Amino acid sequence: MGPPGLALLRYGVHNIHRVILSQNARLLSTAKNFASKSCPTNFDEETDVLIVGSGAGALTASLRATALGLRNIVVEKEETIGGASAISGGGLWIPCNPVSKAAGIKDSEQDALKYFEQAVGDVGPASSLTKRQAYLTYGPKMIEFLQQQGFRFHFSKGYPDYYPPLEGAMGKGGGRTIESKVFNTKKLGAWESRLPPSSIPAAIYTNDAPVFSRLTSSIGAFVYATWRVLPLIARALVGQRLTSLGRGLVAQLLYLHLRQGGSHVRLGTSLSKLVQGPMGEVIGAEVRSSKGLITIRTIRGVILAAGGFAHNRQMREQFMPKPASTEWTNSPKGDTGDAIQEGMRLGAATALMDDAWWGPTIMDPVTGAPAFALIERARPHCFIVDSSGSRFMNEAQSYTDAGHDQYARNQKVKAIPAWLIMDSSHRNKYILGGLFARVKPSTEALASGRIFQAATIDELARQIGVDPEGLVKTTEKFNDMSREGVDTDFGKGNSVYDQFFGDPTAGVNPNLAPVDKSPYYAIKIWPGDLGTKGGLLTDEFQRVLDKESRVIFGLYAIGNTAASIMGRTYLGAGSTLGPAMTHGYIAASNLSETR
């Protein structure tokens, strides 16, 4: 369908929506009037909108609601603000956004829609054509709105889409990922202490990470990192406390939120129960804090933005592929599915409950802390094998695809855990799950099984319980392919996405180099995740739908509480936060039209 056809379709859809919205508004108004007359003393307080959760999507919804004149309350069960957003990379995947446009990127909604169709495919109503069009239309508007509020963005130069060969993708040079500029958290005053601690020593950007993680690989990498860090040091010397990535995103949103006023954030306050009116519509919620249980009446509605169920063992066992574990997830501890369960109690439909934002993960057996292996596996001088010693994936591919491949392989051969095999060249050049380059593994790291070391591949295989003959053969073939610069088995390094995390000093292929220098190392790779994909099914306004596809009036869901518009894929850096914030903007805008 060409541009005129798309315009006509949107015009028709828009007018149908206006009629439906008008009818829905009258029904909701009647129901709420009845509810207020029948139980006027059941509520402790009243607001226009209640937002459950305090991540980037929730704070965007709050900012938008306040700008539209709606009173709103944000409740967060943890004592720190930001949820999974605050510990994320902080990228936003927003095609045709004004930040990228200002950087000279040429993009189109038609190309982005083609890419959506090619990469995501048909996964049902969670990612319908109407929802995709709404996302592509309102994503740039959300960014423009935040810019008007004073938000400062950084263009993530060079970050490509995750499937560059597909039609409509943005390849080398990137163009659709942006993030928060480095932010001085001193501006938050007393709220600064409510941010989670930073996990990185310097306020870098996502497009810096590939270079910073290979500082010792070349003089060029060291010079680039020095050039990036010196201005940060200068700012720190004058008293600024700088942060970036997801923590910077949340900090800057919180700063705008505090400056704007008109909303209240309550930490240590969890959702206990949604309250329904006589027609099944949501008219409020019970929330619990250290002060006890209070009931809040909502004039417009409730937005559930409380994350997924990554740390809910029972839900993982019920919905997720096996083996299922809460130990491998990189999501925060409060990600326990409360909001999803409450929506399900009201009869909400769900989708994609068996999937997650998978991410190969390295575990520290001493502390139990997971480390997301984003870059390590994409480097030269390494490959991943199952228990037979065989490779089964392109190690440099998208992390969600890597998780799918690991679970699929485990159905045939034990591949959980899998093993990242590398040589001394890898250890001398690259960071590995918190282990610095050129630093010999400590006695504790070796004794705990965090990392294994051996003089030969055969000896290494016997240490880790992998078939020695299989691993030796795999190593020999991998080395032969590396010398030629082409992975004829799985295509490691063929894609510009692979190459983004490679090492340009490696040779013909930035992702391939032999594993041939003793000692050799192995580390376990688990199918961790950055959160769950499944959640409540919503329409294009983010209104929650029941099992008959009818709207549950007064109830909205965004972020990981809602079934992902990205389906079973990860289109580009920021495919979680981009939709979360856009959908928060859409939900708040729709609520402003509801009476």
Domain containing residue 131: CATH number: 3.50.50.60
What pLDDT, on the 0 to 100 scale, is given for residue 16? 36
Q: Is 29 a domain residue?
A: no
10-residue stretch averages of pLDDT, the chain, 595 residues long: 36 38 46 42 91 99 98 98 98 99 98 98 98 99 99 97 98 95 97 94 88 83 85 88 97 96 92 97 97 97 99 98 98 98 99 99 95 96 99 98 99 99 97 88 94 98 99 99 98 97 94 98 98 99 98 99 99 99 99 88
Structure tokens at 351: 């989708």
What pLDDT, on the 0 to 100 scale, is given for residue 47? 98
Same domain, 229 and 362: no
SS3 of residue 26 by DSSP: helix
Which residue segment(s) compose the domain that 257 sits in? 43-267+536-592
Structure tokens at 382: 């390494």
Distance separating alpha carbons of residues 408 and 347, to the nearest angstrom: 32
Structure tokens at 139: 């994503």
What pLDDT, on the 0 to 100 scale, is given for residue 262? 75
Same domain, 65 and 162: yes
Same domain, 93 and 217: yes
The separation between CA 340 and the C-alpha centre of its own chain, rounded to angstroms, equals: 18
- Is 292 in contact with 272 (CB distance < 8 Å)? no
The total of structural domains in the chain comes to 2
Bond from prior residue into 201 cis (ω within 30 degrees of 0): no
Distance separating alpha carbons of residues 260 and 66, to the nearest angstrom: 8
Q: Is 395 exposed, middle or buried (0-12, 13-18, 19+ CB in 10 A)?
A: buried
Same domain, 492 and 543: no
Same domain, 62 and 108: yes
Same domain, 431 and 561: no
Distance separating alpha carbons of residues 576 and 557, to the nearest angstrom: 14
Which H helix or E strand runs over 110?
A: helix 109-120
Q: Backbone phi, then psi, for 302, in 5-degree steps?
A: -115, 130
- Is 539 in contact with 519 (CB distance < 8 Å)? no
What pLDDT, on the 0 to 100 scale, is given for residue 23? 45
Q: Is 326 a domain residue?
A: no
What pLDDT, on the 0 to 100 scale, is given for residue 209? 86
Domain endpoint, select from 500, 529, 558 = 529
Same domain, 525 and 549: no
Q: Is 220 a domain residue?
A: yes
- Is 526 in contact with 361 (CB distance < 8 Å)? yes
Same domain, 550 and 481: no
Q: What is the CATH number of the domain that holds 435?
A: 3.90.700.10
Q: Is 302 a domain residue?
A: no
Same domain, 522 and 546: no
SS3 of residue 43 by DSSP: coil
Q: Is 82 a domain residue?
A: yes
Bond from prior residue into 323 cis (ω within 30 degrees of 0): yes
What pLDDT, on the 0 to 100 scale, is given for residue 250? 99
DSSP string, 368-399: --EEE-SSGGGSSSEEEE-TTS---S-TTS-H
Distance separating alpha carbons of residues 52 and 152, to the nearest angstrom: 25
Q: Is the dihedral of CA 434, 437, 441, 444 positive or negative?
A: negative
- Is 73 in contact with 58 (CB distance < 8 Å)? no
Structure tokens at 65: 């609601």
What pLDDT, on the 0 to 100 scale, is given for residue 400? 98
Q: Is 325 a domain residue?
A: no
What pLDDT, on the 0 to 100 scale, is given for residue 166? 98
Distance separating alpha carbons of residues 243 and 231, to the nearest angstrom: 13
Distance separating alpha carbons of residues 430 and 426, to the nearest angstrom: 6
Q: Is 108 a domain residue?
A: yes
Same domain, 464 and 563: no
Same domain, 400 and 451: yes
What pLDDT, on the 0 to 100 scale, is given for residue 226? 87
Rg (CA), the chain: 24
- The torsion defined by the Cα of 375, 377, 379 and 385, in degrees rounded to 10, comes to 180
What pLDDT, on the 0 to 100 scale, is given for residue 1? 43
Domain endpoint, select from 477, 510, 529 = 529
Secondary structure string (H, E, C) spanning 207-256: HHHHHHCCHHHCHHHHHHHHHHHHHHHHHHHCCCCEECHHHHHHHHHHHH
Domain endpoint, select from 510, 529, 548 = 529
- Is 413 in contact with 465 (CB distance < 8 Å)? no
Q: Is 313 a domain residue?
A: no
Distance separating alpha carbons of residues 535 and 340, to the nearest angstrom: 6
Residue whose entry in the numeric block shows the structure tokens 């050039």: 227
Same domain, 549 and 525: no
337-362: b (≥16 Cβ within 10 Å) or e: bbbbebbbebebbbbbbebbbbbbbb
